[in-house]
Structures are given as C-alpha cells and as structure tokens.
Amino acid sequence: MSTQKRNRRAGVEDLWRDLKKPRPLFDADGNQLFDTDGAPQTTLRPKLYGIGKRWRARYVDDDSRERTQRFDRKIDAQKWLDDIVASQVTGNYIDPVRGQITFGSFYAEWAPRQVWVHHTRRENDRLDRTVPFRDVAMSDLRASHFETWVKAMQDQPLAPSTIKSRMMNVRAILKAAIRDKALAVDPSQGVKLPRTRRAEAAMSIPTSEQVGQIISSAEDRFMLFIALCAFSGARSGETSAFQVADFDFLRREIHVERQVQRIRSGVVEIRPPKYGSERVVAAPKELIDMVAEHIRLHVPGENPKRWIFEGLNGNPMEHNMVGGRWRKARAAAGVTDVKLHSLRHYYASGLIADGCDVVTVQRALGHSSASVTLDTYSHLWPKAEDRTRKAASGLFDEALGSTAYSLRTEGRN
C-alpha cells in the first residue's frame, strides 16, 4: 500500500513571538521548575527565543520532507521561500541538500546503477577522475567550469571529435542530476566546442590497388580478416567475433551477431555489435569462396560455433593481435597511411559508387539510422550537378550520337 504524502505547504514563522499558551520551564537537567508555593513556572516565550536567527522559513519538498532555513530578517526569509515555491511550480526545484553534492560524489552514486558494457564504464570512470570540476558542488557548477575544461582539452591537443564525445558523457551525468533534483538546469548548455572537420576532409579511403596489395601481403591466416573488412564492411571487432555458423554459403550471406571487446591481455568480452547493429550482409561469391577455403585450411573441427580467427586461450582474436598483424601486412605492402577502419569506408564508397541508396548502405554497415549514414558519407553520393550532367550526356548520345556528330564536324573542316 502506498504511503500518503504530506501536503505541500510553506510559510515563514517568528521564533521569538510570544506564545498564546504558556509553556512550562525546565532546568538544565530537564527537571520542571516550580515556585515556592508549588505552582509550576511558565513562560510565554518559545524555547528558541533569543537563540539564533529569528525568522524560520519552512516548506515540504517533492519527497514529503520538511525543509527549513533561518534568517535574521523576515523579508529575506520570505524571498527565499518564494524562490523555492516558484522553482517547485516551474519544475526547476533543487533539493538544497542534494545540490551540495559534488560532481564526483554524484557520479559515484549514479554510475553503479547504469547498464554499461565494460568499455563504456571504463571511459566514464576515467572521465570522472580527470574533470577539473570533480570536487565542485552541483549547485555551484557554472558555464565557466566547462569552458575552461574544453579549452584545456583543446590545448593538449585533443581531436574535436574526442572533446565532443567527452562533453556528451558529462552532459549525460548532468541530465541525471537534473532528474535527481540536484541540479536545476544544465550549466554546460551553450558552451562552444571546437569545430569538427568535415567527413569529406577527414575521411581517408584507400584505393582498390592499395587494398589488393595489403591483402596479398598479409600472412595466410590474416588475409580473410582484411577481405571481410573491405568487402563486407564489418568492423574490426565484429570480424574478430565471426564463427563458422555466421556464414550461409548457399544464400551467400554473412550474419553479424557479435563483437569482441578487449578487457586486458588475454581477456575479452563478447557482446552484441555496436548500437545493436546485428545484421545480415549480402556477400559476393568470391568472398564466400574465400571464407570456405580459409575454414578448410585454418579452422579445423566440426563445431559450427568455432572461431574463424582464434586468439589466445580459446578466445577469438582481440584488438592488439589484430593491430599487430594489420601493421605487418601494411608495411609489407608498402602502404603506411591506411587505417584498418578505412576499409569500412572503402566498402561504403563502393556501394555508393554503384548506385546503392542510403537505406541499403545503412543496413549493410549496421548504422543506427539513415541520418548517421548521411552524416558520414553524404559527400560520396552524386550531387545534383553530377546527375544533371549525366542525364544531359545521355540525351546527347540519344539525339546525335558521338560518331555521327564527329564525322559531320570533320566533313565541315
């Protein structure tokens, strides 16, 4: 049965006013005092008369707890109470006790309740340890705290995307503090972040020749790993987590159902793909044939759940092992400026160049939404001018034909 909440009320009282009814007097030991004739001694003065500040403002908070604050002047008590009541009405109320909790202390309470994977918890814990406002009370946080922090990160220097990611994590904590009545508004709103480079300028897409050279230069057991990244768009962690059962050789499909996250040396975590992007990728026959040959040569056994790329202690290959083999293959190919993740961009650019629409590319890459795909690769789709030029060229060929037109102009000369 639910507990009845106390009625919300508020008021200012004079602690030094005379009482309507006399109260008995007691000595320091708590014994009631009497006159010589045996009558109890009384007074019209309250117990707090002349002690501390005269005016007490009181109200009931959202959790039915009574809150009080004392003031020397009635006008100050009334103003404080009016501000509290107004904040309760507008939804901007801050618990005066919770408002004094520091950023770090609030995080220590909040973090254990979050459903995070290991990587996310590690990043947020590191962030909590390093922010310069960790010991500042929530109610005392100002925009200047975050401006100073952002400028310090920029001076390190950290990439604009890294700064943006850290600010988003901090804002998630601030939003939680607002819900918990420890903060009225987000003080970081309006703080400017360094401008990120456009995807077109920041993205590096290897050529087909470079991809072919790296695959050919890789060690036998790692060739398929690179090919899967380049021709199915799988992320590195997803590729590490492939099992034999994830490949449908008849339908030529690849099922992306998990990824590998490194915890520490020799210890990995198997979890769903990033942003829950489980998906089925339509694979080319050549890639499926390459998978079949790799399994025949390098993946012995009958268990359909055996790892395609096995690492240490029966676990799939983890990030450090992948990175070492990738750098070795890249160096052998004489291609030093291509990142492993760039193979995913290579795959996406190939789909777009062949006329695939946004939704098709989104599903193949496992993006959470089409807008993410557009934000990342919009510069690769043909622009209106390109489509206009191509259409006009088609009309030209239909109407005149390049051969007839050239013969005619040669005759005139």
For the chain, 413 residues long, give each residue's pLDDT as a single digit of tens. Answer: 444 455 567 788 888 887 778 888 887 788 888 888 888 888 878 788 888 898 988 888 766 778 888 899 999 888 888 877 777 666 666 666 666 889 999 999 999 999 887 778 889 999 999 999 999 998 899 999 999 999 999 999 898 889 999 999 999 999 999 888 788 889 999 999 998 766 544 678 999 999 999 999 999 999 999 999 999 999 999 999 999 999 999 999 999 999 998 877 767 888 888 877 899 999 999 999 999 999 999 999 999 999 999 988 888 998 899 999 999 999 999 998 899 999 999 999 999 999 999 999 999 999 988 998 988 888 888 877 777 887 887 787 777 765 555 545 555 55
Q: Give the residues across from 69 on adjacent strands.
A: 57
Q: Provide φ and ψ at 256, rounded to 5°.
A: -95, 110
Cis peptide bond N-terminal to 157, omega within 30? yes
Tokens 């489509």 belong to 387
In our burial notation (b when 16+ CB lie closer than 10 A, e otherwise), range 274-303 reads eeebebebebeeebbebbeebbeeebeeee
Residue type, 369: S
Query: What is d(CA 211, CA 229) in angstroms, rounded to the nearest whole number?
Result: 10
Structure tokens that stand for 373 in this block: 């795909």
Query: What is d(CA 382, CA 145) in angstroms, rounded to the nearest whole number?
Result: 44
DSSP, res 240: H
pLDDT value at residue 4: 43
Q: How would you list the strands of the sheet with 279-282, edge to edge?
A: 247-248, 253-256, 279-282
The answer as to CATH 1.10.443.10 being correct for domain 208-361 is yes
The C-alpha torsion from 249 through 254 and 256 to 260, rounded to 10°, is 70
Q: Give the residues across from 261 on adjacent strands.
A: 269
Residues making up the chain, counted from first to last: 413
Q: Provide φ and ψ at 188, rounded to 5°.
A: -90, -10
pLDDT value at residue 28: 78
CB 344 within 8 A of CB 380: no
CB 285 within 8 A of CB 251: no
Query: What is d(CA 294, CA 175) in angstroms, rounded to the nearest whole number?
Result: 49
Query: What is d(CA 86, CA 89) in angstroms, rounded to the nearest whole number?
Result: 5
Shortest CA distance to 378 belongs to which of 370, 389, 367?
Answer: 370
pLDDT value at residue 43: 81
Structure tokens that stand for 81 in this block: 């109470």
Query: What is d(CA 40, CA 25) in angstroms, rounded to the nearest whole number?
Result: 8
Query: What is d(CA 298, CA 312) in angstroms, rounded to the nearest whole number?
Result: 15
CB 200 within 8 A of CB 321: no
Which fold would CATH assign to domain 103-196? DNA polymerase; domain 1 (1.10.150)
Query: What is d(CA 288, CA 296) in angstroms, rounded to the nearest whole number?
Result: 13
